[in-house]
Structure 1
Amino acid sequence: MTDAPANDPPAPDRRYRHRFTDRLSVEQVEEGTTLAPRFDADGLIPVVTTDAASGDVLMMGVMNAEALACSIETGKAHYWSRSRGALWRKGATSGLVQTIVEMRIDDDQDAVWLRVTVSGGASCHVGYRSCFYRSVAIGAGADGPVALRFTEREKIFDPRAVYGDAPNPTRL
């Protein structure tokens, strides 16, 4: 048996599975009162994070069982970083900590919604308030690349000052 690649998340059943209820029936999952999250084949569940005050979408990420359990236990947002292959507490490096105001799970418990406050006012490693700082030109013709328009004009912080030269590994 070979070891899993470094960027593979730990299986959800290992260390943190005891925190969640087994999925026994559709009724229990959709109408029950216990958390029975459905992680994908990679052991991940998608997470949409919004600003608790404005409702603006700040970021989209994923959690493994450990990140979900840590987020519940600490009230601070934790994610699984696919690019780094590691558990990641938002703000550990930058100080831009996401404090959870409310956590919701969708109807079939396979997606999480976090409503957060952010110390420092930014969530994006590029320096913008939101990771969704550009809009896509809808209705663009098929005669060239699709244009993007910046919806945020100014960065909240300088990512090089916070992270150095490489805030996030480039995946091209």
Structure 2
Amino acid sequence: MSALSANLVIADPAARSRLLDAIRFDARGLVPCIAQQHDTGEVLMMAWMNREAAEETLATGRVCYFSRSRGGLWRKGETSGQQQRLVDLRLDCDGDTLLALVDQTGVACHTGRRSCFYLAPRDGQLAEIAAPEIAPEALYGR
């Protein structure tokens, strides 16, 4: 991985608009975004962004997604404190998938694990390969 560390913020609205115009959002106005820890390469999660979420992410440097279940913006860490600071944002060759290189505070998964990718086939069964680092109740006050 590269030695990126600065928080990526694009303050100029015209520059943000040009970048957003390059993204091929699907028929629902969404694009998948993979979040990866910038310094280790660990894949943390996949979520969706709409244009508004991508624009807010670029404007603030704090990652924002679109929650399909809630039908609105989801500012990562807003309720749990487990924020993602944007280090770099990359667009794939087809323009239809984003890779957000982030600096993750705490855990990324709502289950209390560092990564959402904690299930893997082992001995013919699906097994948990990572234990929660924090109880979900502690993250969300349930």
Instruction: Give the TM interval when normalised to the shorter protein.
Output: 0.7 to 0.9
- Give yes or no for contact 1:123–1:130 (8 Å, CA) kept in 2: yes
**Secondary structure at 1:60's aligned position in 2?**
strand
Is structure 2 residue 114 aligned with structure 1 residue 129?
yes
- Give yes or no for contact 2:16–2:58 (8 Å, CA) kept in 1: no
Shift in Å, 1:156: 1.8
- TM-score, normalised by the number of residues in structure 1: 0.69
**Secondary structure at 1:104's aligned position in 2?**
strand
- TM-score, normalised by the number of residues in structure 2: 0.82
Aligned to 1:37: 23
Shift in Å, 1:100: 0.9
Q: Which of 14, 17, 20 is the aligned partner of 1:20? A: 17
Post-superposition Cα deviations, 1:105-155, rounded to whole Å, max 9, x if no partner, equal 1112111001111112x10011000011111359x5xxxxxx2111113x1
Which residues in structure 2 correspond to 1:121-160 (within 5 Å)?
122-137=107-122, 140=124, 147-153=125-131, 155-160=132-137
Unaligned runs of 5+ in 1: 1-15, 22-32, 141-146, 166-172
Is structure 2 residue 54 aligned with structure 1 residue 50?
no
Displacement over 6 Å in runs of 4+: none
Matched to 1:108, the amino acid is D
Aligned to 1:66: 52
Unaligned runs of 5+ in 2: 1-12
Is structure 2 residue 86 aligned with structure 1 residue 100?
yes
C-alpha separation in 2, matches of 1:95 and 1:34: 27
Count residues in correspondence. 130
**Secondary structure at 1:114's aligned position in 2?**
strand
C-alpha separation in 1, matches of 2:75 and 2:20: 25
Q: Which has the larger radius of gyration?
A: 1
C-alpha separation in 1, matches of 2:42 and 2:139: 24
C-alpha separation in 2, matches of 1:127 and 1:34: 32
Give me the CA root mean square deviation: 2.4
Post-superposition Cα deviations, 1:22-59, rounded to whole Å, max 9, x if no partner, equal xxxxxxxxxxx885111000000010111112111100
